[in-house]
Amino acid sequence: MNYSLDVCWMYHDIMDLYGDKGNMMVLKKRCEDRGIKFTLDTCGIQQKKDLSIYDLVFLGGGADKEQISLIPDLLSRKENIQKAMDEKTFILLICGGYQLFGQYYIAADGSKINGLGFYPYYTDTGEQGKRCIGNIIINAKLDDLETKIIGFENHGGQTKNVVTPLGKVIKGYGNSFDAGFEGFYNGKILGTYLHGPLLPKNPEVADFVITKALQKRHPSFSYSDLSLIDNPFENKAREVLLQRFQIK
240's CB contacts (< 8 A; 6+ apart) are: none
Q: Catalytic residue at 43?
A: no
30 is in an annotated binding site: no
Number of residues that this document lists for the chain: 248
Query: What does pLDDT average to over the chain?
Result: 94
Q: How far apart are CA 116 and CA 196, in angstroms?
A: 25
197: preceding bond cis by omega (within 30 degrees): yes
How is the chain split into domains, by residue range? 4-244
- Find the catalytic residue in 8, 31, 43, 95: 95
pLDDT cut 90: percent of the chain above it: 78
pLDDT digits (tens, 9 = 90+) for 68-100: 899 999 999 999 999 999 999 999 999 999 999
Q: Catalytic residue at 195?
A: yes
90's CB contacts (< 8 A; 6+ apart) are: 55, 56, 57, 188, 189, 190, 209, 212, 213, 215, 216
**Each residue's pLDDT tens digit in the chain (248 positions)?**
799 999 999 999 999 877 889 999 999 999 999 999 999 999 999 999 999 999 999 999 888 888 889 999 999 999 999 999 999 999 999 999 999 999 999 988 888 989 999 999 999 987 777 899 999 999 999 999 999 999 999 999 999 999 999 999 999 999 999 899 999 999 999 999 998 789 999 999 999 999 999 999 999 999 999 999 988 888 888 888 889 888 87
Angle 220-193-29 (CA atoms, 0-180°, nearest 5)? 50
Domain 4-244 has CATH 3.40.50.2000: no
Q: How far apart are CA 200 and CA 83, in angstroms?
A: 30
pLDDT digits (tens, 9 = 90+) for 3-37: 999 999 999 999 987 788 999 999 999 999 999 99
| Cα torsion 196, 198, 199, 203: sign | positive
146's CB contacts (< 8 A; 6+ apart) are: 139, 140
178's CB contacts (< 8 A; 6+ apart) are: none
